[in-house]
Amino acid sequence: MQKLKQKPELLAPAGNLEKLKFAIHYGADAVYIGGKQFGLRSNAGNFTFEEMAEGVAFAKQYNAKVYVATNIIAHNENLAGAADYFKKLYEIGISAVIAADPALIQACKEAAPDLEVHISTQASIANWKTAEFWKNEGSPRVVLAREVSVAEIREMKEKVDIEIEAFIHGAMCISYSGRCVLSNHMTSRDANRGGCAQSCRWKYDLFENGVETDTEVSEEAEELYTMSSQDLSMVEHLPDLIEAGVDSLKIEGRMKSIHYVATVVNVYRTIIDAYFEDPDNYQLKQEWVDEIWKAAQRNLSTAFYYGEPTSKDQLYGKPERLPKYDFAGLVLDYDATTQIATIQQRNNFGVGDDVEFFGPNFHHFKQTITELYDEKGEPLERAKHAMMITKVKVDQPVVYLEMMRKQK
């Protein structure tokens, strides 16, 4: 029998307090969030100190951790208040900060010396000597560059006794480890200080070099070009990263929906637990792969983990049609006697719709809605109003915070 390694941490994104709670409820061991300063997702629902404190208190109920991203590349004007900020994070009970800029790392060490600093992917750590450097600087964990292969990870773990965090799912940046100035050029929004405009995702005409008139060569194309990469997914290869020694398996997506967070966390939680239950006889189940596609926004790729990406890992030409699902409702209660679930509406649904319920521990079932009532028990044809409380006859028992989705 293969010797079991320690289970790696499953680390999930949390763009706001509600997403934090769903990520942990659906199986995350830790979440990473952004505060009002020093983070790279200025458009996410970033946390106030009060919300951080509530998130930490919730996480503790599940023995989970909360990390805060402070991973901007700071300019002079960004340094003010850093010491007080890190001191406050430590007092709240944040388990670690994720940083890349040496000035912010130093500020944290001086103001809150007992607060762990994890070195961000923005530092582009792609070799074992760099990992060793950060270990010698006192950091217990490095978040690897996304351009690193499985073989390189294995070598790092063999040569350096340091925790390694690696991305397993989510969006990939066209620039090296996210260090991009395209957004700055196009929109004057600094991607390295939280203002990325996603310029690589825009559609562009293609022009041929050397032609004086810049003659367009994409006139007949059905779809304009982008510089955009496919999204990362290691759902079919997770044991490779576990066996290479990755300590924290990270999901990207602080700006993604609750449906995305719950779905993706649920799948990877299931895979990790299944692998550790019997690693010698572990087999990937197609239902896990199918579930990931229900949250996919783009085609999926293994990126750099098994060699240099090719054109097949880029989004060229007319995009494939992916299945799209709406988060239709959230289960608040269930009456076993009547088989009626109390559901908070999140998207329009009604009688005759085919829906799917899912929850933690990969509980799934599909049904057609045959009976729908309002909060007072009056029959309804459709739940049209946002956040309205409804009653739905369900085919199987459901529990609090399970979700109902429907295909668009």
How high does pLDDT run on average in the chain?
Answer: 89
CA distance 317 to 322: 15
CA dist 239 to 2, 26, 165, Å?
12, 20, 15
Q: Are 74 and 38 in contact (CB under 8 A)?
A: yes
What local confidence, expressed as pLDDT, does residue 192 receive? 62
The string of DSSP letters for 104-131 reads HHHHHHHH-TTSEEEEPGGG---SHHHH
Return the residue matching tokens 């562009």: 204
Three-point CA angle 289, 291, 293, nearest 5°: 75
How many CB atoms are closer than 10 A to CB 363? 14
Letter for the amino acid at 153? I
pLDDT at 320 over 80: no
Q: Which distant-in-sequence residues (6+ apart) come within 8 Å of 213 by Cβ?
A: none
Q: Which of 20-34, 195-209, 300-314, 393-407 has the least mean pLDDT? A: 195-209
Percentages helix, strand, coil for the chain (3-state, rounded to 5) are 30, 25, 45
pLDDT of 206 reads: 66
Lowest mean pLDDT among 21-30, 183-192, 262-271, 350-359: 183-192
Summarize pLDDT for 44-94 with one digit per residue, the tens.
568 999 999 999 999 999 999 999 999 888 889 889 999 999 999 999 999
The more confidently predicted of residues 93 and 315 is 93
Q: Where is pLDDT greater, at 311 or 35? A: 35
pLDDT value of residue 218: 47
pLDDT at 219 over 60: no
SS3 396: coil
How many angstroms separate the CA atoms of 317 and 14, rounded?
Answer: 32
Q: How far, rounded to the nearest angstrom, does the alpha carbon of residue 145 sit from its chain's CA centroid?
A: 16
Per-residue model confidence (pLDDT) at position 61: 97
pTM, full prediction: 0.89
What pLDDT sits at residue 214?
47
Domains parsed from the chain with CATH numbers: 9-177+228-313 (3.20.20.70), 325-407 (2.40.30.10)
Q: Is pLDDT above 70 for 319?
A: no
Question: 108-137: per-residue pLDDT in tens?
Answer: 999 999 999 999 998 999 999 999 999 999
Q: pLDDT at position 3, please? A: 56
Neighbours of 76 (CB within 10 A): 7
- 335-375 residue pLDDT tens: 999 999 999 999 999 999 999 999 999 999 999 999 999 99
Under a CB-based contact definition with an 8 Å cutoff, are residues 232 and 172 in contact? yes
Q: Which of 228, 250, 235, 13 is nearest to 121 (CA)?
A: 250
The three-state DSSP-derived secondary structure of 321-342 is: CCCCEEEEEEEEEEECCCCEEE
CA atoms within 13 A on the CB side of 296: 22
Q: How far apart are CA 95 and CA 379, in angstroms?
A: 49
pLDDT value at position 408? 83
Report the relative pairing of strands 389-393 and 340-345 from DSSP bridges.
antiparallel
Comparing 342 with 6, the larger pLDDT belongs to 342
Q: In angstroms, rounded to a whole number, what is the distance separating the alpha carbons of residues 390 and 348?
A: 12
Whether the Cβ atoms of residue 39 and residue 32 lie closer than 8 Å to each other: no
Residue type for position 380? L
Q: DSSP string spanning 59-113?
A: HHHTT-EEEEE------GGG-TTHHHHHHHHHHHT--EEEE--HHHHHHHHHH-T
Q: What single letter denotes the amino acid at residue 93?
A: G
Q: Is the pLDDT of residue 241 over 60?
A: yes
- The answer to whether 55 and 66 are in contact (CB under 8 A) is yes
Banded pLDDT at 213 (limits 50, 70, 90): very low
Which is higher by pLDDT, 193 or 98?
Answer: 98
CB within 8 Å of 39: residues ≥ 6 apart: 46, 68, 69, 70, 71, 72, 194
pLDDT at 276 over 70: yes
- Is pLDDT above 80 for 175? no
Is it the case that residue 302 has pLDDT exceeding 80? yes
Which stretch of 45-49, 145-149, 197-201 has the lowest confidence by average pLDDT?
197-201
Say yes or no to pLDDT of 323 above 80: no
Report the share of the chain in percent with pLDDT over 70: 88
Mean pLDDT, residues 312-320: 69
User: How far are the Cα atoms of 49, 288, 331 from residue 203, in angstroms, in the given order?
Assistant: 39, 32, 39
By three-state DSSP, how is residue 238 classified? helix
